[in-house]
């Protein structure tokens, strides 16, 4: 039987992978956030099937916030690396 957690994890996985492919075609995005989202969706789906509904839902909500962070702030890592250290006086 298909539950809400199954649908939510698959939808989040498909949307994040689509966003990664679109960004990969245009630029070079960081892979780690999308990999974490995919792993969290897999673990959340597994927990949902085993009866851990609340834990699975909390994991998927955390993955959603990570996805929103990678959508709204895609260059945050690059901006932090571009800063130069302050001059010593």
> What pLDDT score was predicted for residue 27?
84
> What pLDDT score was predicted for residue 67?
87
SS (H, E, C) the chain: CCCHHHHHHHHHHHHHHHHHHHHHHHCCCCCHHHHHHHHHHHHHHHHHHHCCHHHHHHHHHHHHHHHHHHHHCCCHHHHHHHCCCCCCC
Per-residue pLDDT tens over the stretch 7-65: 888 999 999 999 989 988 988 888 888 888 899 989 988 888 888 888 888 988 998 99
Distance (Å) of CA 71 to CA 5, 10, 50, 67: 22, 18, 31, 6
> What pLDDT score was predicted for residue 21?
92
> What pLDDT score was predicted for residue 14?
93
> What pLDDT score was predicted for residue 18?
92
CA dist 55 and 62 (Å) reads 11
Higher pLDDT, 74 or 84: 74
Model-level pTM?
A: 0.74
Residue 83 has pLDDT above 70, yes or no: no
């Amino acid at each position: 039987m298909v539950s809400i957690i199954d649908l939510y994890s698959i939808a989040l996985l498909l949307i994040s992978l689509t966003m990664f492919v679109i960004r990969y075609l245009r630029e070079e995005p960081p892979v780690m956030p999308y990999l974490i989202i995919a792993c969290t969706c897999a673990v959340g789906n597994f927990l949902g099937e085993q009866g851990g509904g609340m834990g699975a839902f909390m994991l998927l909500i955390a993955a959603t916030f990570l996805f929103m962070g990678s959508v709204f702030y895609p260059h945050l890592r690059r901006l932090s690396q571009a800063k130069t250290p302050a001059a010593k006086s």
